[in-house]
Structure 1
Amino acid sequence: MVFYYTQKGGQRMAYRFGPMDLTHAKQILDWTYDPPYHLYSLEASEEDQAELLNGAYYYAESDSGELTGFFCVGSSARVPGGYPLGIYAGDDCLDIGFGLRPDYTGRGHGPEFIRQVMRYVDAEYRPTKLQLVVASFNRRAIRAYEKAGFYPIGAFYSMIGDQMLEFVAMRRHQIQPVLETGHLLLRPLRASDAAALLKLQADALMRIGPKAQGAHGDDEAAAIEQISNWSSQFCAKRDFYWGITVKSADVLIGVIGYNGLQPEREHASISCRLGGTGMNRFAAEAIRAVVCYGLAELGLETLGTYAAADDLIVHAILESVSFAEAAGVVPAASSDQAVHYSITGELLERSVLAAAYTLRYGAFGAAAGQQPGRGSHEG
């Protein structure tokens, strides 16, 4: 399978992927990485050859037919030390490992290689989440993964040969989920929602937190572009939003999401706009789901928001979801003063939050490898 892309400067390039075969495996076994990356070098042994040919590995070639890298999925992409900590618990992540040819590393090829591999994986496996582990000293690889939308979820130690090494586990959500609650579906916004989104931003009767980033003016074409941008930002874990609909009718009654989302700082602000029909009945239900998702899935520690000082209904709704009023007031986007609220991860264990939503994703499959791997190492 071939994937084309355009380099900076307009040059058309391509990556070709296929299941690992003996010819490509023998080339990879001859690769040697310089210290400190030498732990990724394989041995020209029957054991390592069998590992590469176990059905979980794929080769990557340039459009000229030159072998440039490989990747693996399933247990071959896992590191033993991650099992006791539950890194590999559950079946909603596809584990993946990347390997770039030694003379390609450190030259800026990593981010594009990762992007093209993920295009192939999306087409073949349709994963909802991708997960990888990388040695913590490999900062250039970590930077490449971050550029591709991966974010850290934890760290652990594992024996590799005779060395005890620290690894960082990273994850990337491929598909923005639908959050299903008792009465609502919080779904990704679509281009057809543009007109309704603009109306909500202008005329919403309930306003909680800042205006959704980028949703300004009355230009429907610009709103469609912004909806597309939000979809891309979901993968990079930056500001993104859901449309709020009632289960019985796919009519947009609100929009809710994260403003100022920074997983590395473990914080975001909740932004919510609701029309009159859903103002009192559904606001707490939607906010509770988004709070719980941020704490459980994005690894956030705190979420904040604010409401106009005289909007007693909104204050009551936020407090019903366990938001606590912060000290003082902050300026709202308008000239009015606003009261600031926050909520922390300590409240996640409360049953009212733990059962706030059900995630709905598309199905995916994953090839299972046979032996534990050494993590990803391109850069």
Structure 2
Amino acid sequence: MISSPVIFHAVPMTAAHAKDICTWHYKAPYNIYGWLSWEQMEALGIEFGDPRIRREQYVSIMNQNDELCGFAQLFPLDGEVRTVRLGLGMHPDLCGQGTGHLFVSAIIEEARKRYPRREIDLEVLTWNQRAIRAYRKAGFTITDAYERRTPNGVKPFYCMVYDKSRA
């Protein structure tokens, strides 16, 4: 039997989606990508715990059966080059199954709809080769390496930029 490929698409992130995402637990070393509890996110009004930020910057990524598969943040940066920076997370049960590039492609599609003239980039920890492979397959290239502060100390990152000519 031939299984059909997963088809991902973006929808507005609901509070129910956000609450569900806060329950996801990743295996080490990916456990650094977990969130605070939904109650803490809401009380602190941070990230998708803030209804305005959730509405303006976050989307939920669903599959063809409308099951929640992940999320993305599309954060507009206004510097010398107008950019939209992606932040994203896939459901832990779906990670490492070879569909990451399809997942990222759905996020790129949404970013291009919202910000058609902006460059699209993302940051990734240099050790996360699984994510880097998916990003490369979706059309990103490493353009810079640097260190920046995280909740776990200063860590090395790559900046990866999407090649719009692939669209």
Query: Does TM-score exceed 0.5, indicating one fold?
Result: yes
Residues 49-95 of structure 1 show CA distances to partners (whole Å, capped at 9, x for unaligned) of 431141311001112121001100116xx8xxxxxxxxx73242211
% identical equivalent positions: 28
Check if 1:28 corresponds to 2:17.
Answer: no
Structure 2 CA distance, aligned partners of 1:63 and 1:235? 24
Query: What letter is aligned with 2:134?
Result: A
Look up the SS of the partner of 1:93 in the other structure.
strand
Residues 126-145 of structure 1 mapped to structure 2, 5 A cutoff = 126-145=116-135
Residues 88-107 of structure 1 mapped to structure 2, 5 A cutoff = 89-107=79-97
| Native 8 Å contact 1:94 1:127 kept in 2 | no
The corresponding residue for 2:154 is 164
Structure 2 CA distance, aligned partners of 1:125 and 1:160? 27
Distance of aligned partners of 1:127 and 1:10 in 2 relative to their CA distance in 1, 3 Å threshold: farther
Look up the SS of the partner of 2:8 in the other structure.
strand
Structure of larger gyration radius: 1
Q: Which runs of 4+ in 1 moved over 6 A?
A: none
The corresponding residue for 2:109 is 119
Query: What letter is aligned with 1:18?
Result: V
The corresponding residue for 2:58 is 57
Residues 1-379 of structure 1 mapped to structure 2, 5 A cutoff = 9=2, 11=4, 13-46=6-39, 48-49=41-42, 50=45, 51-52=47-48, 53=51, 54=53, 55-74=56-75, 89-174=79-164, 234-235=165-166
* Pairwise CA distance, 1:97: 1.4
* Pairwise CA distance, 1:128: 3.7
User: Where do 5+ consecutive residues of structure 1 fail to align?
Assistant: 1-8, 79-87, 175-233, 237-379
Query: What letter is aligned with 1:30?
Result: T
The corresponding residue for 1:293 is none
The corresponding residue for 1:313 is none
Look up the SS of the partner of 2:103 in the other structure.
helix
Residues 321-354 of structure 1 show CA distances to partners (whole Å, capped at 9, x for unaligned) of xxxxxxxxxxxxxxxxxxxxxxxxxxxxxxxxxx
Look up the SS of the partner of 2:97 in the other structure.
coil
Distance of aligned partners of 1:23 and 1:144 in 2 relative to their CA distance in 1, 3 Å threshold: same
| Native 8 Å contact 1:128 1:173 kept in 2 | no
| Native 8 Å contact 1:157 1:165 kept in 2 | yes
Count of residues in Structure 1 that have an aligned counterpart in Structure 2? 158
Structure 2 CA distance, aligned partners of 1:154 and 1:12? 33
Structure 2 CA distance, aligned partners of 1:12 and 1:107? 12
TM-score by length of 2: 0.83
